[in-house]
């Protein structure tokens, strides 16, 4: 019997969407206000979903304290109050779109989880704009 456990988290970060190989006009045309050279910020909400089998011994899918600690170490401590473009290694070469941020978060959490679990992350850039990544 497969079940999903969810944990919500929150972090704040600044970023700029742009491609350095495009001029300012093209970046502005494609990314709009999100291409502001002085950056802009978001209050991101995150839902981390772990999927797997209930442990018959404990009755848990996963101890949610363990999941909380993974999220804190791999997401909150890593991304909160950062300029993603300037301070986060993955985004030195990768445009920090919501899609790419979700993939980075997924990869960081996945490596910290036991391999028996499947993972899904949903990242809310705004209350109405969000993406979900389930891995490949």
Catalytic residue among 40, 81, 90, 120: 81
Cα gap 115→111, rounded to integer Å: 8
Contact 61, 5 (CB under 8 A): yes
Which of 75, 49, 72 lies closest to 62, judged by CA? 49
Tokens found for residue 114: 């036991």
> Is 34 assigned a catalytic role?
yes
Is residue 93 part of the annotated active site? The answer reads: no
* SS3 (DSSP) at 14: strand
The one catalytic residue in 10, 15, 34, 76 is 34
Q: Look up 40 and say whether it is catalytic.
A: no
Number of H-type helices and E-type strands within the chain? 5, 5
Contact between 66 and 84 under an 8 Å Cβ cutoff? The reply is no
| 54 close to 1: Cβ distance less than 8 angstroms | yes
Residues marked active site are found at 34, 81, 125
């Amino acid at each position: 019997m497969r079940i999903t456990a969810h944990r919500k988290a929150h972090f704040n970060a600044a970023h700029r969407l742009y491609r350095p190989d495009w001029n300012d006009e093209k970046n502005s045309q494609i990314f709009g206000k999100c291409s502001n050279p002085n950056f802009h910020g978001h209050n991101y909400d995150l839902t981390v979903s772990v999927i797997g089998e209930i442990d018959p011994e404990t009755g848990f899918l996963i101890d949610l304290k363990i999941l909380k600690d993974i999220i804190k170490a791999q997401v909150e401590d890593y991304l909160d109050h950062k300029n993603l473009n300037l301070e986060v290694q993955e985004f030195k070469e990768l445009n920090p779109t919501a899609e790419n941020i979700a993939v980075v978060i997924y990869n960081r959490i996945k490596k910290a989880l036991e391999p028996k679990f499947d993972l899904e992350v949903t990242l809310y850039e705004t209350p109405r704009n969000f993406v979900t990544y389930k891995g490949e």
